[in-house]
Structure 1
Amino acid sequence: MNAPSPVYDLSRWWCDTWQKVQQDAQPPVYRYYRLCLRQDLWGQWELIRCWGRIGQKASREVREIIASPEAAEAIRVQVQKTRRQHRYLPVAAPWADLDLAD
């Protein structure tokens, strides 16, 4: 029996990136936080959070299967608020610069 092929909706994929500089550290520490929404091989929606120091491998990555892009939007709003509180600044990151094909 053949399973139906997954349906991908690339127009609903997104990725937000924030950066911050900790000037009080010697030398200054540059950090990032990235939140991405995409679909996995089976068409399920996946929310990926990764963060760490700029210039090094990702120090942490968490993947979570979510019900829909709308559910991810609520999480996105909360993460944006938290990043602002922690003095991160949004960074425009074109899709071409992101390594989303793990």
Structure 2
Amino acid sequence: MTPSATQRSWINPEKARYYQVFLDQDLFGDWTLIKVWGGIGSNHGRMHSSGVASYEAGIELVDEIARRRTRRGYRSAPTD
């Protein structure tokens, strides 16, 4: 089975913040983790991307990010 792209989103309504993570494969078959965050309603968010060794390594990072977001008061949000 071929792994598929993954997307997760969180919001912190008390601080009006959002955080999104995308794990996607590029045209060369390499996996990239993209993190996007900022204020809800603001046009000044930030983005950071980094390569990961494999899909499995990327999923481990996504899971760690999910734990960190939860500890910081974020809730899971639906993805589009």
- The bucket for the TM-score relative to the shorter chain is 0.7 to 0.9
Partner residue of 1:61 out of 38, 44, 47: 47
Q: After TM superposition, list the pairs within 5 Å mapping 1:41-80 onto structure 2.
A: 41-80=27-66
Query: Which residues of 2 match residues 10-89 of structure 1 at below 5 A?
Result: 12-22=4-14, 29-89=15-75
TM-score normalised by the chain length of structure 2: 0.86
Structure 2 residue ranges without an equivalent (≥5): none
CA distance in 2, matches of 1:68, 1:56: 33
Structure 1: unaligned runs, 5 residues or longer: 1-8, 23-28, 95-102
Q: How far did residue 40 of structure 1 move?
A: 2.0
* Alpha-carbon distance in 2 for matches of 1:52, 1:89: 15
Which structure dedicates a bigger proportion of its chain to strand? Answer: 2
Q: CA deviation at 1:92?
A: 1.3
Larger Rg, first or second structure (1 or 2): 1
Higher relative contact order (CA 8 A, sep 6+): 2
Shift of 1:11: 5.1
C-alpha contact (below 8 Å) 1:51/1:58 kept by paired residues: no
- Secondary structure at the aligned position of 2:13 is classed as strand
Count of residues in correspondence between the two structures: 80
Residue matched to 2:77: 91
| SS of residue in 1 equivalent to 2:65 | helix
